[in-house]
Amino acid sequence: MATVHVVGAGLAGLSCALTLAESGVRVVVHEAAPAAGGRCRSFADAALGRMVDNGSHLMLSGNRAVIRHLERTGARDRMTALHPAAFPFLDRATGQCWTLRPGGMWFLDPSRRVPGGGALDHFAALRLLTAPAGATVADVLRPGSPLYARLWAPLAVAGLNGRPERVSARLLGAILRETLLRGEAACRPLFAPDGLSAALVTPALARLEALGAEVRFNARVEGPETADGRVTGFRSGGAAVAAGADDALVLAVPPRAAARLLPGLTVPPPGPAIVNAHFRLDRPAALPGGLPFLGLIGGTAEWLFARGDVLSVTVSAADALAERPAETVAAALWTDCAAVLGRPADAPVPPVRVVKERRATFDQSPTGDAARPPAATRLENLVLAGDWTATGLPATVEGALRSGEAAALVLLGRRTTSSARPGLFQGFTFPGRRHM
């Protein structure tokens, strides 16, 4: 029986493995780390005595692949949606609070939109949908307007991990198309009360096991050997693995790792760091706006997430912050948190864990976006997956899950096409352009 070896147990690898295993394909997942989840994972932090996520992740109900993933793994109840959709903000300089409430003609109602932003200003964002491939967010929208400072720039930074002068207008347009433009029901923030792994990773591993798929940890894949335009073998955790005539490999690893494994592959350059700090408070955090999260305008902290007594703070496009020592980062972010929570400015910094994710995403500039390869490669039995492949979406959980499904469909399509021939994957013409 043919085997597909999926390299990487991040969300792209897991969704690829699930799609294949549900179609009856024999799957082996090889993960270099001791645990699955990649850039979207939870861990037990001994200093805090709590499970924390490597970084708070904001997903929305319009993320169809996320919903599909939760349903196929029986984990729909591991995430709760904030209903009706609402996005609370606080301006650090003025203390002004507002809550964006998308849905219907929300932008005509001053109490549901950004203060200082007129209805017509909101319409200007439609230009993102038809932006040329080379345009940045700042090229298309109007820097300097209150709406830009209070909505579009923070959205670009959080959604694309880069400054609006740098990141792709088209990619921000993709977020709008999939969420805001589909109405309130597509904009509800999703929260994982027990953490990212409990919602997205552990149930996926259980489902894979039930389907008979094998997942190997501490199994770094190295040096695929190739002959006649196909992979013939590789090493996993130091042991040789032969790839038979009908076997295939999916590289669901980050771009740098993919380029190492497949020399000559074009990959987008790395983007900036994302920094998170998790503070354990002396009581459950209550944020202004009364919701479990808050966008902060004009602070060092950008997004605050409250989960029980843990207050988590996210800063994107944070290369400069990531260079500073953890204590300095914690102190700077706590200053914002203390102000938001109404605590004295000199309140001592509570127990904290700072997580710096360098190269958190690929560089989501127009140039970086143009360098994203499709799933198919020049090698007959090797395909790519990952949030950095050409999904048309930003580097998000949604993009990662869809890339995994797309990679699986390339292989399954090949199997369907070749069903009348010997060899599971022979005779398939790849959809889309090959890249190398």
Ligand X SMILES: Cc1cc2nc3c(=O)[nH]c(=O)nc-3n(C[C@H](O)[C@H](O)[C@H](O)COP(=O)(O)OP(=O)(O)OC[C@H]3O[C@@H](n4cnc5c(N)ncnc54)[C@H](O)[C@@H]3O)c2cc1C
Q: Which residues form the interface with ligand X (CB under 6 A)?
A: 7-13, 30-33, 38-40, 54-55, 57-59, 220-221, 252-254, 257, 274, 276, 357, 360-361, 386-387, 395-398, 400
Q: Of the two residues 101 and 356, which places its CB atom closer to ligand X in the complex?
A: 356
Residue type at position 245: A
Residue 88 forms beta bridges with which residues? 99
| DSSP-assigned letter for residue 349 | P
Paired tokens of 426: 């022979």
| In the complex, least distance from residue 275 CB atom to ligand X, rounded to whole angstroms | 8
Q: Of the two residues 92 and 359, which places its CB atom closer to ligand X in the complex?
A: 359
Q: Of the two residues 121 and 236, which places its CB atom closer to ligand X in the complex?
A: 236
- Distance (Å, rounded) from C-alpha 9 to C-alpha 253? 8
Q: Of the two residues 117 and 386, which places its CB atom closer to ligand X in the complex?
A: 386
Question: Which candidate, 327, 365, 364, places its Cα nearest to that of 349?
Answer: 327
Residue type at position 197: S
| In the complex, least distance from residue 70 CB atom to ligand X, rounded to whole angstroms | 14
Residue 59 forms beta bridges with which residues? 190
| DSSP-assigned letter for residue 114 | -
Phi/psi region, residue 115 (left: phi>0; alpha: psi -120 to 50; beta: rest), is: beta
The vertex-358 CA angle with 352 and 363, nearest 5°, equals 135
| In the complex, least distance from residue 238 CB atom to ligand X, rounded to whole angstroms | 12
- Distance (Å, rounded) from C-alpha 323 to C-alpha 45? 22
| In the complex, least distance from residue 410 CB atom to ligand X, rounded to whole angstroms | 16
| In the complex, least distance from residue 180 CB atom to ligand X, rounded to whole angstroms | 15
Residue 230 forms beta bridges with which residues? 227
Q: List alpha helices for 146-198, DSSP H.
A: 146-147, 153-160, 169-178, 196
| In the complex, least distance from residue 33 CB atom to ligand X, rounded to whole angstroms | 4
Residue pair 34/59 in contact (Cβ under 8 Å)? The answer is no
Q: Of the two residues 170 and 372, which places its CB atom closer to ligand X in the complex?
A: 372
Q: Of the two residues 335 and 364, which places its CB atom closer to ligand X in the complex?
A: 364
Q: Of the two residues 79 and 252, which places its CB atom closer to ligand X in the complex?
A: 252
Q: Of the two residues 218 and 416, which places its CB atom closer to ligand X in the complex?
A: 218
Paired tokens of 312: 């988590």
| DSSP-assigned letter for residue 344 | -
| In the complex, least distance from residue 421 CB atom to ligand X, rounded to whole angstroms | 31
Question: Which candidate, 41, 70, 37, places its Cα nearest to that of 55?
Answer: 41
The vertex-67 CA angle with 63 and 70, nearest 5°, equals 140
Neighbours of 93 (CB within 10 A): 8
Backbone angles phi, psi at 150, to 5 degrees: -100, -10
| SS3 assignment, position 186 | helix
Paired tokens of 156: 């670009």
The vertex-188 CA angle with 186 and 189, nearest 5°, equals 130
| SS3 assignment, position 77 | helix
Q: Of the two residues 155 and 297, which places its CB atom closer to ligand X in the complex?
A: 155
| In the complex, least distance from residue 257 CB atom to ligand X, rounded to whole angstroms | 4
| In the complex, least distance from residue 261 CB atom to ligand X, rounded to whole angstroms | 6
Q: Of the two residues 31 and 380, which places its CB atom closer to ligand X in the complex?
A: 31
| In the complex, least distance from residue 43 CB atom to ligand X, rounded to whole angstroms | 13
